[in-house]
Amino acid sequence: ELVLNSQKISSVLEERKSFSVGGADENRGKNRSELVIPYDRNRVILTPVPGREHSTYINASFIEGYDNSESFIITQDPLDSTIADFWRMISEQSISTIVMLSD
């Protein structure tokens, strides 16, 4: 039973670490770096754009606040090709404050 529980825990942890959507071929060009890709479990999912395949992906993740709600979104500095998606996310998620950290 202990081995079975350990396997279940490992399976859940691996599932939580999956980033298959952001790492998919059709979305790689939307990532500033291959090293920073959102996990599938907490990524921001954009509303699909009719006639535009793969339009739900943006390199952005929800972060839980102190009350365990999805209080914040962290994202990359948008690429020229993802600026429209960035502003679509801002609108869809009703974001009222943007804090940008850059070097």
Express each pLDDT in 71-87 by its tens digit: 899 999 999 999 999 99
CA atoms within 13 A on the CB side of 31: 19
**Within 17-82, where are the H helices?**
20-23
Report yes or no on 61 lying in a domain: yes
- Tokens at 90, concatenated: 């801002």
CATH for 54: 3.90.190.10
**Within the chain, where are the H helices?**
2-16, 20-23, 83-92
Report yes or no on 98 lying in a domain: no
Question: What's the pTM?
Answer: 0.79
Report yes or no on 41 lying in a domain: yes
Q: Contact 34/15 with Cβ under 8 angstroms?
A: no
Report yes or no on 53 lying in a domain: yes
**What phi and psi, each to the nearest 5 degrees, are found at residue 17?**
-95, 0
Query: What are 1-23's pLDDT values in tens digits?
Result: 666 666 655 555 555 678 999 99
Domain carrying residue 26: 2-92
Report yes or no on 23 lying in a domain: yes
Q: How many domains does the chain have?
A: 1
Q: What pLDDT is recorded for position 29?
A: 96
